Structure 1
C-alpha cells in the first residue's frame, strides 16, 4: 500500500460541505426571522419577506467569501483560526448590515408615512364659517349639562330626605317593639311568681298532712308493741310457773333451752323520720333573658338619576379655507437633530450581524477539525494496513530462506553422492518452485489449488532425498479448489513433517495434506505418521515454523483464524489450521 505524504495536511472542509453549511445556516436564520415577524405581526409581510430573502442571499455570498479567506489557514493552530474568524467576521457583519439597511429602508419610509397618516386622522377639521354654529351648539350642550346637573342635585336631595325619613320611622318602630317586649316580660315574670307562691303553699300543706299521718302510725305501732310485750312477759311468767310446778312433781325441765328456742320479743318501732327540707323556689330566669333582637330595618331604595345626554356637535367635511384643531395630546415637533444617521444604523445592525458570522465561523472550525480527525483516522488506517503488509512480507520472507537452506543441504548431499540425475531434477524443481512462489505477492491470497501445486513441487524435491521413505497423500475436494488461503501457508508445516517425521524414520512415512469445510469455515491439516517425538523435540517442533504460521494467520484474519497442533494418538504429529472460507469470486 502506498501512502502520499506530500499532500497538505488539514485541507479542511470541502467546498461542497462548506457551501451546504452556509446555505443551511442562513436558511435557519431566514426561517426564524420569518416566524418571529409573523408572531409579532409587523404587517407588510410580503414586502418584508422579499427584503429578508435579499439579505439572506447576500449574507450567504459574504459568508462564502469568508470561507475562501479561511481555506489557506487550514491545518494551522486553533488560535490562528479563531483570530482569523474574529477579524473576518467584522467586514462581513458591515456588509450584512449595509444590505439590511438598503433592503428595509423603503419599508421603513412606508411605515413612517402610515404613522403620519394615522396621526393626521386623529385631527378634526372644522369649517371657519361654521364656528359660530359650533359655538351655539356648545352653549346648548353646556346649558343642557347644567340642567341635568341641577336635576341630578335635586334628585339626590330628595333621595337623602327620603332616606332620613325612613331612618326616623324605623327608629320609632324599633322603640315601640322594645316597649311591647318589656311589658310582656313583666307580665310573664308576675305570672311565674304567683304560680311559684301557690305551689309552695300546696307543698307545705301536703308536708304537714304527711307528718301528721306518720305520727299517728307511730302511735299505733307503739301501742301494738306494748301489748305484744305484755303478752310475751305473761307467757314467760306462766312458763316459769309450769316449770316450777313440774320440778315439785319430780320432772326436771331445762327452761333455758326451751327459752332459747322461743323467738325473741319484737323490737320497738323506730321513731318517724324528720320531714325533708322544703326545696327552694325556682329562680326567676325570665328577668335575665335577653330581649329578642330588633327587627331588621327595611331597605331604603334610592332612585339613581338618569344619565345626562349631551348632544353631539355636527362637523362638516373639510373644505378649502379651513383651520385645524388638534384633539388629544399634541405630537412632538420634528427635530432634525434627533434623526439617527445612516452610519449609526449600520453600526447598530453590524453588531448583531457580527455574532451571526462568528457563530458560522465556530461551526466552520468545528467542521474543519472534524474533517481533520477523519483524515487522521484514514491516514492511521493506512499506516496500520501498511504495517500489516510489512509484517506479512517479513513473515513470508522468513519461509523462503529456511526452505532454501534445507534444499541446498539436500542438493549438496546428492552432489557428494554423485547422484547427478537426482541433483539435476532437484535443481529444476527448485527453480520452478522459487519462480512460482517469488512472482506471487506475499500479502495476497492464492487459491487452494495453487497452494497445493507449490507443495507438490516441494514434496517432489524432498522425494529425491527420501525416495523410499516419503509417501505423499493429498486429499482436497474439488469444491474447495477455489478457496483463498495465504500464499505458502502450508510450507512450514510440510517442511516440519519432512524434518521431524520422514528424516528420522527408518520406515516409510506418509505425509497427508487434507482440506475440508465445517460450520466455521475452511480447515487445513498436515499430518505424518512418523515416530513419536520426545518432549524436547516437541518443543523444537513448535519453534520458528509453527510460530510463523500462527502469526501470519493472526495478521491476516485476526481472531477468526486459529492454529492447533500436537502428537497424534497412533504416532506422528499433526497441525490443523482454521480460517474463514473465502471463495475465488469474492
Structure 2
C-alpha cells in the first residue's frame, strides 16, 4: 500500500465539500457565507434570548422551531445572494432593483412560513402539522405583514451590506493589481536605466587593450582585460540588485577608474573621501556611474594636464550627500542663481529619472561650480525607508 493511500478518502471528501461550496457560493464565497450565517445566527440568538424574560409554552419545541425557521431564512437569503450575483454584470441599478420587489417577495414568503411554523403549540420534534393543508383564511395577516416588514428589513440590510463589502473587495483587488503592475513597470524602468552603459567606455577599453598588446605590454593588457571583465560582471550580473551599500558602489567606481587609468596613466588622478558613517547606507546601484563617466569623457580626454576626480560621501542630518568633483567649470544657463542646476545630458537625465522613480521628490541632483575651480555634481538621498513602496 502506498503511504498516501490511507489519506486519500479524506482528501477526496475535502475536495468534494470544497467543490460543493464553490457551486453554492461561486462569487465572494467567504464574504457570503460569513455574512449570511452571521446575520441569521445573531437574529436566532436574539429571538431565543426572550426565553429568559418571557414565559413560553414548550420552550424546547420553540427552540427547535426557531432552528427550523432560521434555516429557512438562511436558504432565502442564499436565494437573494444568487439573484444579486446573477445581475452583477448589469450594474448597480440592477443590484438595487433586486433589493426592492424580489426581496419583498422573498420576505413575504418567509413571513408566511413563519406563520405556518409558529402557529402551533407542537411538542418537541413534532412537525406533522407541516404536512396539513394550509388554510390561508386562518392566517393572522396583520402578524404576517409585520413579520414580512421585519424580514424585508433584514434581507435588504444584508443585501446592502453584501454589495458594499463585495464592491470594496473588488476595488481593493483592482488597486492591488494596479499596484503590482506599477511595481513591475517601475522595476523594468529602473533596470533599463541602470543598464544604459556608455558604449564608448567599452570601445575605449578594448582599444587600450589593443594598444598594450601592440606595444607588447602583455601583463598590463592582461590586467586590463581582467579588470574590465570583473567590472562588466559586477554591472551586468551583480547589477540585478536595485540597492547596494555605499562601499560597494564606491568600490565599483574605483574599479572603473582603475581601468580608465590604463588609458590615461599620467593624467588621471582620483581621491576617495568616504565618511565611515555612510558605508551601510543603501543607494541605487550605479547611481554615480554617469557622473564618473562624464568627468572622464569631458575632463581627462580633453586636456593634456593632470586631471583630478574627487569622490566623497557624508551625512547631513537625515540625508546622504554623494559628490563627484573634477577640474573644470559647469556651463550654467545665463542668469542662473547660486550656480545650481541639473544637466540635460543623457547620463544626468538617467540619474534624474532613477531618483524620481525611486524617491519621488525626496531626492535631488545638483550641479555647481566651486570657488577653487572644481565642477561638482551632488546627489542628495533621503533615508532608504522613503523609497516608494506599495501601500
Q: Deviations over 1:214-268 (max 9, x none)?
A: xxxxxxxxxxxxxxxxxxxxxxxxxxxxxxxxxxxxxxxxxxxxxxxxxxxxxxx
Q: 1:433 Cα deviation (Å)?
A: 1.4
Q: Answer yes or no: is 1:100 the counterpart of 2:114.
A: yes
Q: Answer yes or no: is 1:575 the counterpart of 2:377.
A: yes
Structure 2 spans left out of the alignment, 5+ residues: 1-24, 124-134, 334-338, 386-391
Q: Answer yes or no: is 1:481 the counterpart of 2:283.
A: no
Retained in 1: the 8 A contact 2:273–2:311? yes
The equivalent residue for 2:173 is: 375
Q: Distance in 1 between matches of 2:107 and 2:188?
A: 54
Q: Which SS does the other structure have where 1:559 is aligned?
A: coil
Q: Answer yes or no: is 1:532 the counterpart of 2:329.
A: yes
Question: How many residues are aligned here?
Answer: 337
In structure 2, the CA distance between the partners of 1:478 and 1:55, relative to structure 1 (3 Å rule), is same
Q: 1:555 Cα deviation (Å)?
A: 0.9
In structure 2, the CA distance between the partners of 1:463 and 1:544, relative to structure 1 (3 Å rule), is same
The equivalent residue for 2:313 is: 515
Q: Answer yes or no: is 1:468 the counterpart of 2:262.
A: no
Q: Distance in 1 between matches of 2:331 and 2:173?
A: 55
Q: Distance in 2 between matches of 1:76 and 1:371?
A: 18
What pairs up with 1:447-458 in 2 under 5 angstroms?
447-458=245-256
Segments of 4+ moved more than 6 angstroms: 31-35, 343-347
Q: 1:466 Cα deviation (Å)?
A: 0.7
Q: Which SS does the other structure have where 1:547 is aligned?
A: helix
What pairs up with 1:226-245 in 2 under 5 angstroms?
none
Q: 1:34 Cα deviation (Å)?
A: 8.2
The equivalent residue for 1:560 is: 362
The equivalent residue for 1:22 is: 36
Q: 1:387 Cα deviation (Å)?
A: 2.5
What TM-score comes out, normalization by structure 2 length? 0.70
Structure 1 spans left out of the alignment, 5+ residues: 1-10, 110-337
Retained in 2: the 8 A contact 1:389–1:443? no
Q: Distance in 1 between matches of 2:73 and 2:206?
A: 83
Q: Distance in 2 between matches of 1:98 and 1:397?
A: 74
The equivalent residue for 1:543 is: 345
- Across the aligned residues of Structure 1 and Structure 2, the Cα RMSD in angstroms comes to 4.0
The equivalent residue for 1:392 is: 190
In structure 2, the CA distance between the partners of 1:438 and 1:31, relative to structure 1 (3 Å rule), is same
Q: Distance in 1 between matches of 2:324 and 2:26?
A: 54
Highest RCO, 1 vs 2 (Cα 8 Å, sep ≥ 6) = 1
Q: Distance in 1 between matches of 2:238 and 2:90?
A: 44
Q: Deviations over 1:258-286 (max 9, x none)?
A: xxxxxxxxxxxxxxxxxxxxxxxxxxxxx
Retained in 2: the 8 A contact 1:524–1:576? yes
Q: Which SS does the other structure have where 1:560 is aligned?
A: coil
The equivalent residue for 2:132 is: none
Q: Distance in 2 between matches of 1:466 and 1:427?
A: 16
Q: Distance in 2 between matches of 1:342 and 1:357?
A: 23
In structure 2, the CA distance between the partners of 1:374 and 1:535, relative to structure 1 (3 Å rule), is closer
Q: 1:14 Cα deviation (Å)?
A: 3.8
Q: Distance in 2 between matches of 1:547 and 1:477?
A: 27
Larger Cα Rg: Structure 1 or Structure 2? 1
